[in-house]
Amino acid sequence: MAGLTLRSVYKNYGDVPVIKGVDLDIQHGEFVVFVGPSGCGKSTLLRMIAGLEDITGGEVRIGDRVVNDVEPRDRGVAMVFQSYALYPHMSVYDNVGFGLKLANTPKDVRDRKIREAAKVLQMEHLLGRKPAQLSGGQRQRVAIGRAIVRQPDVFLFDEPLSNLDAALRVDMRMELARLHHDLDATMIYVTHDQVEAMTLADKIVVLNGGIVQQVGSPLELYNAPANLFVAGFIGSPKMNLLTGQFDMVDNQLQVVADGVSFRLPKAPGTLARGGAVTLGIRPHEFALDAAGPVKGIVQLVEQLGNETVVRVRLDNASEITAVLPGQETLKVGSTVSLGFDPGHVHLFGADGNRISP
């Protein structure tokens, strides 16, 4: 098993830059998730690691070997795609073992590896079936089995669960987490789904426009997003972002954003007076509070049983989402007052970057 390093990695298609200088260190055994909106370059980056795309600039290392010019099959990686691409006329057993057969692996070794992989994936009872006799989740397990028998140093997954329905995705997510634990393998996983990223990753790499926005554990990204992009991308429902200004009043930082006015318990050091600021408040931070600084008209109420999602229109017509614990009976069209802990807000400067803390 091996770690992986990217140094100033660039990719252009013709003269269109798609990956714009990525630096990344992945430790042996880590589960790393590349997440970002469609078209941000996740697959391209993964395919460059796999050797399926040329590297325009920079260096990719797997273990202590630079692999820029190494053939895909010699890199010690195995890739699992969204489309399983199984051979329809072959049994599961033969599909899983096909790569080994091509590599002239002796029959007994092949048999042992196929059965081991089937055991890890809990699909020993499926080995005799054809792909058409499998569910979507079972087919994806066969595709993963094909990767496992190659005993790669690094597993690469490109949106492997996108073709599955929601319930099955949750099951497969847990299976992948277990597989990662059982195999003690380095895994890089691409998804546009921030919930998948949050639940699977040791380390999340948020990409936008071919540039890494932030690298960190799920909670680091949630608790301290580096910029407005990460703030809006990680967390569900999305963080509310209100735009406004701040000033010092009685030695306290006063923020006025979209008509919401409050004072921060302690002022971040780096602010210039009167500057523009974006205020970020997670929906779960709100609570009903008659004296709270957020007042508006209820637009929409969603009862989820364990919590109540409320959409509120503020005086200046901007809207926020609040998630209140439990079952709140709020009427559409009624007035509501919300409070929040000023110590739990996020502030971003005019450049979109987080203002410490």
Q: Of 269, 265, 291, 226, whose CA–CA distance to 344 is shortest? A: 265
- Report yes or no: 350 and 339 within 8 Å, Cβ to Cβ: no
Total residues contacting ligand ADP by CB under 6 A comes to 10
Smallest gap, in angstroms, from Cβ of residue 225 to ligand ADP?
A: 20
Smallest gap, in angstroms, from Cβ of residue 46 to ligand ADP?
A: 8
Residue 296 contact partner, candidates ligand ADP, Mg ion, none, CB within 5 to 8 A by sort of partner:
none
Single residue of 2, 9, 26, 41 touching ligand ADP by CB under 6 A:
41
Pairing verdict, β 154-158 and 16-26: unpaired
Q: Of 183, 190, 103, whose CA–CA distance to 151 is shortest? A: 183
Smallest gap, in angstroms, from Cβ of residue 59 to ligand ADP?
A: 19
Single residue of 2, 6, 24, 43 touching ligand ADP by CB under 6 A:
43
- Does residue 40 belong to the site contacting ligand ADP (CB under 6 A)? yes
- Does residue 38 belong to the site contacting ligand ADP (CB under 6 A)? yes
Smallest gap, in angstroms, from Cβ of residue 143 to ligand ADP?
A: 18
Q: Of 256, 274, 265, 228, whose CA–CA distance to 315 is shortest? A: 256
Alpha helices for the chain (secondary structure H): 42-50, 92-102, 107-120, 136-148, 166-183, 194-200, 218-223, 228-233
- Does residue 325 belong to the site contacting ligand ADP (CB under 6 A)? no
Smaller CB separation from ligand ADP, 57 or 259: 57
Residue 40 contact partner, candidates Mg ion, ligand ADP, none, CB within 5 to 8 A by sort of partner:
ligand ADP
Residues 6+ apart with CB under 8 A from 204: 32, 33, 35, 197, 198, 214, 215, 216, 217, 218, 221, 234
DSSP helix/strand/coil, 92: helix
- Does residue 39 belong to the site contacting ligand ADP (CB under 6 A)? yes
Smallest gap, in angstroms, from Cβ of residue 12 to ligand ADP?
A: 9
Which span sits near ligand ADP by CB under 6 A: 38-46, 101-109, 226-234, 250-258?
38-46
- d(C-alpha 263, C-alpha 231), whole Å: 21
Residues 165-204 that bind ligand ADP (CB under 6 A): none
Pairing verdict, β 31-35 and 203-208: parallel
- d(C-alpha 10, C-alpha 186), whole Å: 23
Residue type, 150: R
Single residue of 9, 18, 26, 142 touching ligand ADP by CB under 6 A:
18
- d(C-alpha 72, C-alpha 62), whole Å: 12
The first and second tokens of residue 252, run together, are 């306290």
Residue 311 contact partner, candidates ligand ADP, Mg ion, none, CB within 5 to 8 A by sort of partner:
none
- Does residue 82 belong to the site contacting Mg ion (CB under 5 A)? no
Smaller CB separation from Mg ion, 158 or 285: 158
The CA R_g of the chain, rounded to the nearest whole Å, is 25
Smallest gap, in angstroms, from Cβ of residue 173 to Mg ion?
A: 18
Residue 188 contact partner, candidates ligand ADP, Mg ion, none, CB within 5 to 8 A by sort of partner:
none
Residue type, 222: Y
User: What is residue 254's DSSP assignment?
Assistant: E
Smaller CB separation from ligand ADP, 34 or 340: 34
Helix (H) or strand (E) holding 158: strand 154-158
- Does residue 160 belong to the site contacting ligand ADP (CB under 6 A)? no
- Does residue 44 belong to the site contacting ligand ADP (CB under 6 A)? yes
Residues 195-234 that bind Mg ion (CB under 5 A): none
Residues that bind ligand ADP (CB under 6 A): 13, 18, 36, 38-44
